[in-house]
Amino acid sequence: MNTHRIGLVVPSSNVTVETEMPRILGAHPDADFSFHSTRMRMHQVSPEGLAAMNAQRERCVLEIGDASPEVILYACLVAIMVGGPGEHQRVESAVAEQLATGGSEARIRSSAGVLVEGVRALDAKRVSLVMPYMRPLAERVVAYLEAEGIEIVEWRALEVADNNDVGCIPGDRIMEAARSLDLTGVDALVISCCVQMPSLHLVDAAEKEFGLPVLSAATAGAYSILRGLDLPVTIPGAGSLLRSDLD
């Protein structure tokens, strides 16, 4: 069985993506994966903190390129979305171009882009969100997704500014926020619009409770990685998006 090498570019204070992504992909029946990270300094999830973090991108891309990954995930959704509509395409192209100068053919994904991809894969037109961000940043996430043609019906922002604290948000608080949403006529629920807010353990239970597809930034990332590697999209216990190949 081949081992596929996955690169992760993550905020320095993020501990969740390196936990949830191996857990999801480790359940794949036909492939093995190894995970290799590089970090950008960031603690406060604010426009200033995100801008300072993004300025470290080129260094991190050079570092992760040395590990020769097949796929690289730029794993900070809001850091991309604050750049305005279409920013995930610009960043993914810039990273691919930078890597290509060193001879790397790694496939590039971003958490912002994979969430859009995952929602579209579910053919979800009307979506509701749960996010950890402060309200001004949450509003920019909503605007970003709506610019991609996704109608955001309702959303909840838990308003946690410290990224270390985001990684400790309890599942009960996330589910309470989800239960406060009117999900009538909604096609899908994004239960964590952030790769740092833990939610993998909630996805299946939320699908059963709410009776609709539930995804997260992490499950969308796993979906896009598998598609990029031309592997079957079949992972147990991670929601409808990863239950079967949707093509």
The sign of the torsion formed by the CA atoms of 195, 200, 205, 211 equals positive
Check the annotation: does 164 bind a ligand. no
d(CA 96, CA 101): 9
Joined tokens for residue 243: 């239950």
Check the annotation: does 54 bind a ligand. no
**φ, ψ of residue 35 in degrees (nearest 5):** -125, 135
Check the annotation: does 74 bind a ligand. no
d(CA 23, CA 200): 9
d(CA 193, CA 116): 11
The sign of the torsion formed by the CA atoms of 100, 104, 105, 107 equals negative
Check the annotation: does 163 bind a ligand. yes
**Where does the chain have alpha helices with state H?**
17-25, 47-54, 57-65, 77-81, 87-100, 111-121, 135-147, 163-166, 171-179, 200-210, 217-228
For 71, the 3-state DSSP assignment is strand
**φ, ψ of residue 157 in degrees (nearest 5):** -110, 125
Check the annotation: does 44 bind a ligand. no
Check the annotation: does 200 bind a ligand. no
What amino acid positions are annotated as catalytic residues? 76, 194
The sign of the torsion formed by the CA atoms of 19, 90, 223, 162 equals positive
Residues of the binding site: 14, 76-78, 133, 163, 195-196
Residues of the binding site for substrate: 14, 76-78, 133, 163, 195-196
